[in-house]
C-alpha cells in the first residue's frame, strides 16, 4: 500500500493546530496509561514472590492494595483519554466538515448538477467520519503502542537477557506475519462498503420519490430492487467477516499460542537453571500476553488508516475542484433603487449541451416590467438563472444598473447581487420549519412586527393567520402541505423582506385556484411597485401588467417590444397568443 504521508500529515497539522493543548493533554494521558500498563505486573511479581517465600502478610496486603490502586488510576486515565480524544476528533472533523460544506456551497451549479445530494452528504459527512479516529488517535496510538511494546521488551531484558532476546524475536515475527495477513480482508470490506453506498443511494431516492412511486404503482418493483440489493449485500458481508474475522483472529490466536509456548519453554528452562523466580515466570506470561495488545492496536490503526486513506483521497479531490464562476477581486457595488437590465448578445449552454440561449439582446429600463413568454423548454428559467449568476454565459455580457451607472454582474459582489436581485422560482424550496423561518430564511433579527407588516402589505395576512398556528405553523419537509401557489406566496414574502431592486418571478406552470391566483396578483403588484420586474408568465393576468413583452423560442428572441403596440398588431405573435389563449399554448 502506498501512503502519501506528507499529505496526511498536512491535513492532521491543519486541523489539530487549533487545539494543541488538548492534543498534548491527550498524549500525556495515553502515555501515563501505557506506563502504568508496564508497571502493574511488577507489583504482581513482588506479590507472588513474597507469597511463595513466606513474606509478611502486611506487605502482601499493601502490594494488593497498590495493585488495585494502580488499576483504578489506569482506568481513570483510559476514560479521560477517551473523553479528551472524542473532543479532539470532533473538533477537528467538524472543522473539516464545515470547510468542505462551505467549499461545496461556493461551487457553481454545474458542480451541483453533477453530484446528487446523497453523494454530497456521503462525501462531506461519511468520508470525514471515517477520519475521526485518524485525527484523534492514530499518531498517538501507533507511537504509544510502539513505546509500550519497546517498554515491555526492555523490562523483559532486565528480567533476563535470554527472555528479552526470545520475546523480541517473537514480537518482530508476529508483527510481520500479522501485518501481512491484515490486508487480506481489505478488498472484501471495500466491496461491502461499495454496495452499502449503492443501497443508501437507492434508499434515499426511493424515499424522496415515495409519492410518485406509490401513485404509479411501482411499489412492488421498488421492493424487488430492495431485496435484490439485500441479496447481494449479505453474502459479501458474510465473506468479508469470515475472512476478516476468522482468518485474522485465528492467525492472531495461533501466533500468540506459539508465543505462549515459547514463553513457557523459556520460563521452565530458566527456572530450572535457577536463573529466575516463580514470580518472574509469571510475569513472563503476563508480558507475553501484554505484547499482544500493542501489536493488535497497531494493526487496528493500520487497518483504519487504509480505510481513511480512501477518504482522504476523496476529500482532497473535492477541495481541488474550483468554481467555474470567478469572483471579482474588487467587487463593484450595484446602484440603489430599481435596476435596469441589459443583455448584450448573451449565448449560453449547460455543460456541453445544445445552446439553450442564443444571442439574446434586450434592454429593460429601471422600474419597468418585462413579461417573458415561450413554450416549455424555451429557456425562460435559464435566462433568470443567468441574471442571478448561477451560471456565466459563454459569450456576451449582462449588466445591471440605472441610467447613470451600470455594472457587469461579473464584477458585482456575490452577496450584493443576490441581495439586490430577488427571484421567486417555479417550484419554491421550502424548509422543514415554521412559516416564520421559511419567510425570514432563519434570520432572527427580523422582528415579528416587520413580518406582520410586510405580509399585511402583500395581502397575505388572513391567509397566514388562518393556518393552524399562524406564523408558528410547521411546514412538512419539502414544503409539503402547501400548494405550488401558496409556496410562491411565501416566497414573495421572503423577497419583500429583502427589498431587492430587480424582482424575477418564474410563475408556477400549474393551475391555481381563483382565490390563490387573486392573492398572488395582489402580492405581485406590491412586489413590483418601485422595482424592475421580469415575470415569466404562464397566465394572461400576469402578462397584463408587463410594459414590454419578450417571446423566446428555442433560446432565441423571436419577438420583443412594447406590450401595447404588440397587442394591437395582428401580425405579432403576441397578438396571436392572446387570440388562442395563453394558458392553452404555454401551460
Ligand atoms: P418551462 O416553461 O417548462 O419552465 P423554461 O423555458 O423555463 O421551461 P428552461 O428551464 O430554461 O426552460 O430550460 C431550457 C432548456 O435547458 C431545456 O431544454 C432543459 O432541458 C435545459 N436545462 C434546464 N436546466 C438544465 C440543467 N440544470 N442542466 C442541463 N440542461 C438544463
Ligand atoms: Mg421554467
Which pLDDT tens digit goes with each residue over 82-111?
899 888 888 888 999 999 999 998 888 888
Q: Which one of 350, 354, 536 would you pick to mutate in the ligand 1 pocket, going by the greatest count of ligand atoms within 8 A of its CB?
A: 350
Only one residue has cell 415561450, namely 374
Percent of the chain past pLDDT 70, that is, above it, reads 96
- From the CA of 524, how far away is ligand 2's center (Å)? 18
Mean per-residue pLDDT, 275-304: 80
**Which long-range contacts link 88-92 to residues 24+ away (Cβ below 8 Å)?**
88/16, 88/19, 88/22, 88/23, 88/26, 88/135, 88/136, 89/132, 89/133, 89/135, 89/136, 89/137, 90/132, 91/15, 91/18, 91/19, 91/22, 92/15, 92/16, 92/19, 92/132, 92/135, 92/136
Nearest in space to 307 (alpha carbons), one of 177, 118, 127: 127
Residue 509: what pLDDT?
Answer: 66
Q: Which three cell numbers mark 22?
A: 488538548
**Which long-range contacts link 466-470 to residues 24+ away (Cβ below 8 Å)?**
467/435, 469/434, 470/435
Q: Which one of 377, 390, 586 would you pick to mutate in the ligand 1 pocket, going by the greatest count of ligand atoms within 8 A of its CB?
A: 377
Other CB atoms closer than 10 Å to residue 506's CB: what's the count?
A: 24
Of 241-245, 285-289, 373-377, 485-489, where does mean pLDDT reach its minimum?
A: 241-245
Residue 293: what pLDDT?
Answer: 77
Of 139-148, 219-228, 432-441, where does mean pLDDT reach its minimum?
A: 139-148
What are the counts of helices (DSSP H) followed by strands (DSSP E) for the chain? 25, 10
d(CA 433, CA 430): 8
Kindly tell me if the per-residue pLDDT of 182 is higher than 70.
no
Residues with CB under 6 A from ligand 1: 113, 350, 353, 356, 374, 376-382, 426, 509
pLDDT in tens, 204-224: 888 888 888 999 889 999 999
**In this structure, which ligand is nearest to the CA of 385?**
1
Residue 134: what pLDDT?
Answer: 77
Kindly tell me if the per-residue pLDDT of 1 is higher than 50.
no
Q: Which one of 110, 354, 372, 379 would you pick to mutate in the ligand 1 pocket, going by the greatest count of ligand atoms within 8 A of its CB?
A: 379
Average pLDDT score over the chain: 84
Residue 563: what pLDDT?
Answer: 92
pLDDT tier for residue 479 given thresholds of 50, 70 and 90: low
Mean per-residue pLDDT, 431-456: 86
* Atom 27 of ligand 1, nearest CA residue: 113
**In this structure, which ligand is nearest to the CA of 424?**
2
109 Cα nearest atom in ligand 1:
27
Kindly tell me if the per-residue pLDDT of 586 is higher than 70.
no
Percent of the chain past pLDDT 90, that is, above it, reads 22
pTM of the model: 0.72
- From the CA of 561, how far away is ligand 2's center (Å)? 21
pLDDT in tens, 341-383: 999 999 999 877 789 999 999 999 999 999 999 988 899 999 9
Q: Which one of 378, 382, 425 would you pick to mutate in the ligand 1 pocket, going by the greatest count of ligand atoms within 8 A of its CB?
A: 382
- From the CA of 205, how far away is ligand 2's center (Å)? 23
Kindly tell me if the per-residue pLDDT of 477 is higher than 70.
no
* Atom 20 of ligand 1, nearest CA residue: 377
* Atom 2 of ligand 1, nearest CA residue: 376
Kindly tell me if the per-residue pLDDT of 565 is higher than 90.
yes
378 Cα nearest atom in ligand 1:
6
Q: What does the chain come to in residues?
A: 587
Query: What CA–CA distances, in Å, run from 202 to 118, 130, 195?
Result: 10, 22, 10
Kindly tell me if the per-residue pLDDT of 561 is higher than 90.
yes
Amino acid at each position: 500500500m502506498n501512503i502519501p504521508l506528507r499529505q496526511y500529515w498536512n491535513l492532521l497539522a491543519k486541523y489539530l493546530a487549533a487545539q494543541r493543548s488538548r492534543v498534548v493533554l491527550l498524549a500525556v494521558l495515553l502515555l501515563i496509561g501505557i506506563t502504568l500498563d508496564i508497571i502493574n505486573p511488577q507489583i504482581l511479581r513482588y506479590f507472588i514472590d513474597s507469597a511463595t517465600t513466606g513474606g509478611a502478610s502486611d506487605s502482601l496486603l499493601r502490594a494488593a492494595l497498590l495493585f488495585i490502586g494502580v488499576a483504578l488510576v489506569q482506568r481513570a486515565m483510559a476514560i479521560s483519554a477517551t473523553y479528551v480524544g472524542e473532543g479532539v476528533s470532533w473538533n477537528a472533523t467538524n472543522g473539516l466538515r464545515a470547510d468542505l460544506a462551505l467549499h461545496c456551497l461556493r461551487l457553481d451549479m454545474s458542480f451541483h448538477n453533477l453530484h446528487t445530494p446523497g453523494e454530497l452528504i456521503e462525501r462531506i459527512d461519511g468520508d470525514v467520519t471515517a477520519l475521526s479516529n485518524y485525527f484523534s488517535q492514530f499518531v498517538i496510538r501507533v507511537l504509544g503502542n510502539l513505546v509500550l511494546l519497546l517498554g515491555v521488551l526492555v523490562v523483559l531484558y532486565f528480567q533476563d537477557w535470554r527472555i528479552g532476546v526470545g520475546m523480541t524475536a517473537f514480537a518482530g515475527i508476529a508483527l510481520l506475519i500479522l501485518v501481512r495477513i491484515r490486508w487480506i480482508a481489505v478488498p472484501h470490506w471495500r466491496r461491502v462498503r461499495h454496495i452499502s453506498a449503492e443501497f443508501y443511494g437507492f434508499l434515499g431516492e426511493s424515499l424522496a420519490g415515495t409519492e410518485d412511486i406509490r401513485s404509479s404503482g411501482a411499489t412492488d418493483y421498488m421492493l424487488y430492487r430492495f431485496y435484490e440489493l439485500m441479496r447481494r449485500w449479505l453474502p459479501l458481508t458474510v465473506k468479508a467477516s469470515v475472512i476478516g474475522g476468522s482468518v485474522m483472529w485465528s492467525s492472531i490466536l495461533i501466533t500468540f499460542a506459539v508465543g505462549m509456548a515459547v514463553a513457557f519453554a523459556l520460563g521452565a528452562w530458566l527456572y530450572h537453571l535457577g536463573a529466575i523466580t516463580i514470580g518472574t515466570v509469571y510475569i513472563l506470561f503476563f508480558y507475553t500476553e501484554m505484547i499482544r495488545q500493542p501489536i493488535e492496536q497497531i494493526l487496528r490503526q493500520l487497518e483504519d488508516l487504509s480505510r481513511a486513506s480512501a477518504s482522504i483521497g476523496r476529500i482532497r479531490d473535492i477541495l481541488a475542484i474550483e468554481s467555474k464562476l470567478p469572483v471579482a477581486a474588487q467587487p463593484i457595488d450595484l446602484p440603489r433603487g430599481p435596476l435596469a437590465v441589459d443583455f448584450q448578445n448573451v449565448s449560453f449552454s449547460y455543460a456541453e449541451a445544445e445552446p439553450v440561449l442564443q444571442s439574446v439582446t434586450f434592454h429593460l429600463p429601471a422600474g419597468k416590467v418585462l413579461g417573458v413568454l415561450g413554450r416549455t423548454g424555451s429557456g425562460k428559467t435559464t435566462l433568470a438563472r443567468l441574471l442571478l449568476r448561477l451560471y456565466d454565459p459563454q459569450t456576451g455580457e449582462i449588466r445591471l444598473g440605472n441610467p447613470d451607472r451600470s455594472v457587469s454582474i461579473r464584477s458585482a459582489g456575490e452577496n450584493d447581487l443576490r441581495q439586490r436581485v430577488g427571484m421567486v422560482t417555479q417550484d419554491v424550496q421550502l424548509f422543514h420549519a415554521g412559516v416564520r423561518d421559511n419567510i425570514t430564511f432563519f434570520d432572527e433579527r427580523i422582528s415579528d412586527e416587520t413580518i406582520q407588516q410586510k405580509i399585511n402589505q402583500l395581502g397575505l395576512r388572513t391567509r397566514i393567520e388562518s393556518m393552524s398556528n399562524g406564523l408558528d405553523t410547521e411546514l412538512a419537509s419539502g414544503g409539503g402541505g402547501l400548494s405550488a401557489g401558496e409556496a410562491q406566496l411565501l416566497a414573495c414574502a421572503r423577497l419583500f423582506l429583502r427589498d431587492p431592486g430587480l424582482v424575477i418571478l418564474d410563475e408556477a406552470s400549474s393551475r391555481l385556484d381563483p382565490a390563490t391566483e387573486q392573492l398572488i396578483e395582489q402580492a405581485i403588484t406590491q412586489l413590483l411597485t418601485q422595482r424592475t420586474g421580469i415575470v415569466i408568465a404562464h397566465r394572461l393576468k400576469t402578462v397584463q401588467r408587463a410594459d414590454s413583452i419578450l417571446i423566446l423560442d428555442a433560446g432565441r428572441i423571436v419577438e420583443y417590444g412594447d406590450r401595447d403596440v404588440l397587442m394591437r398588431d395582428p401580425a405579432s405573435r403576441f397578438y396571436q397568443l392572446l387570440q388562442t389563449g395563453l394558458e392553452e399554448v404555454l401551460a
